[in-house]
């Protein structure tokens, strides 16, 4: 089967990192299913990519909807080569002692359970094909402690753990599973955190060795590399794409050496 006919699902593909990834996969010749809570935006984005792509409404927190998503894509395109688990939301904006269990559960339901169910359903198809690549969106917040990011950090750390366990389970079945851990990326998710006073862009720029936020396409490049045959011997890894944020151990990346 030629690369022209390869098929990818990008959850949360209507905006931000997901949209940048969908565009890049389409450029590489994939048929892309943009699966997003925002149904109309997903259809519009698929239309922007041209013919041969699909926009599909899904809430990744709803098991039945994720199962239906994979079924629909396989029915329409006949196979599934790449799954990018990207759909996500930011954490609640309160200090820990004011955080609610409902919001905690909701975030885990989207990020952690959503990724689990999508991997499980894609895994069924990829095991039958004996080929496939899954890329899960992790985060620096799952690797280091960021105050009050409880559900978000736990979800992302959990996604990294699942990435490793599924990678090991399926390594001899032709399925690779990897993660990308972005630092701060200029998307609506970050704009919302900044608007809510949960984050200062200036402080992030100071703390980041490269002195700036990432562009969505810089994360998309890493996702597409891990999904591609160029990464054929890479599985179970979480690649930091963070301008050096996680590597940095001194006081202020903007100041004199300390
Ligand atoms: N922006 C960052 O700085 C950053 C950093 C690290 C990790 N990430 C991760 O990258 C991923 C994408 O983030 P982004 O910044 O592009 O976000 P974004 O807000 O720009 O886009 C997220 C997309 O996900 C969709 N979505 C939200 N909930 C959904 C659900 N339940 N079902 C289906 N779709 C849903 C939204 O409609 C939207 O289109 C997320 O998993 C996020 O946690 C982002």
CB 90 within 8 A of CB 149: no
- Asked if the structure places residue 257 within a domain, the reply is no
Residue 226 and residue 224: Cα distance in Å, rounded? 5
Number of structural domains (the chain) is 1
- Asked if the structure places residue 250 within a domain, the reply is no
Q: Which of 122, 26, 3, 108 is nearest to 66 (CA)?
A: 122
Residue 93 and residue 95: Cα distance in Å, rounded? 7
Q: Ligand 1 mean position to 173 CA, how many Å?
A: 29
Low-confidence residues in the chain, pLDDT < 70: 1-4, 258
- Asked if the structure places residue 54 within a domain, the reply is yes
Q: What are phi and psi of 220, to 5 degrees?
A: -60, -40
Q: Would you state the pLDDT for residue 199?
A: 85
Domain enclosing residue 80, as ranges:
3-241
- Give the DSSP letter of residue 214: B
| Domain containing residue 53: CATH number | 3.40.50.720
Nearest ligand 1 atom, CA 185: 3
Q: Which of 21, 58, 189 best tests ligand 1's pocket when mutated (most atoms within 8 Å of CB)?
A: 189
- Asked if the structure places residue 56 within a domain, the reply is yes
Catalytic residue list contains 233: no
- Asked if the structure places residue 85 within a domain, the reply is yes
Q: Would you state the pLDDT for residue 1?
A: 40
- Asked if the structure places residue 186 within a domain, the reply is yes
- Asked if the structure places residue 13 within a domain, the reply is yes
CB within 8 Å of 81: residues ≥ 6 apart? 6, 7, 8, 30, 129, 131, 132, 133
CB within 8 Å of 255: residues ≥ 6 apart? none
Q: Would you state the pLDDT for residue 194?
A: 87
> Taking CB atoms and a 6 Å cutoff, what residues make up the pocket around ligand 1?
11-12, 14-18, 36-38, 58-61, 86-89, 110, 137, 139, 182, 184-185, 187-190
Q: Would you state the pLDDT for residue 3?
A: 44
Protein residue with least CA distance to atom 17, ligand 1: 189
Q: Would you state the pLDDT for residue 189?
A: 85
- Asked if the structure places residue 112 within a domain, the reply is yes
Q: Ligand 1 mean position to 255 CA, how many Å?
A: 32
């Amino acid at each position: 089967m030629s690369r022209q006919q390869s098929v990818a699902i990008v959850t949360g593909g209507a905006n931000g990192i997901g949209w940048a990834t969908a565009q890049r996969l389409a450029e590489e010749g994939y048929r892309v299913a943009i699966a997003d809570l925002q149904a109309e935006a997903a259809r519009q984005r698929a239309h922007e990519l041209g013919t041969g792509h699909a926009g599909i409404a899904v809430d990744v927190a709803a098991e039945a909807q994720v199962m239906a998503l994979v079924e629909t894509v396989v029915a329409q395109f006949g196979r599934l080569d790449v799954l990018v688990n990207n759909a996500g939301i930011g954490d609640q904006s309160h200090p820990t002692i004011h955080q609610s269990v409902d919001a905690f559960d909701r975030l885990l339901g989207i990020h952690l359970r959503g990724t689990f169910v999508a991997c499980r359903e894609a895994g069924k198809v990829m095991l039958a094909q004996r080929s496939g690549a899954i890329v899960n969106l992790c985060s620096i917040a799952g690797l280091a402690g960021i105050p009050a990011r409880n559900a978000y950090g736990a979800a992302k750390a959990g996604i990294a753990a699942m990435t490793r366990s599924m990678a090991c389970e399926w390594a001899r079945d032709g399925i690779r599973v990897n993660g990308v851990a972005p630092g701060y990326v200029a998307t609506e998710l970050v704009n919302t955190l900044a608007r809510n006073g949960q984050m200062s862009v200036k402080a992030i720029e100071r703390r980041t060795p490269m002195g700036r936020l990432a562009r969505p396409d810089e994360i998309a490049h890493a996702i597409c590399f891990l999904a591609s045959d160029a990464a054929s011997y890479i599985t179970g890894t979480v690649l930091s794409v963070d301008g050096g944020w996680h590597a940095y151990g001194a006081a202020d990346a903007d100041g004199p050496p300390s």
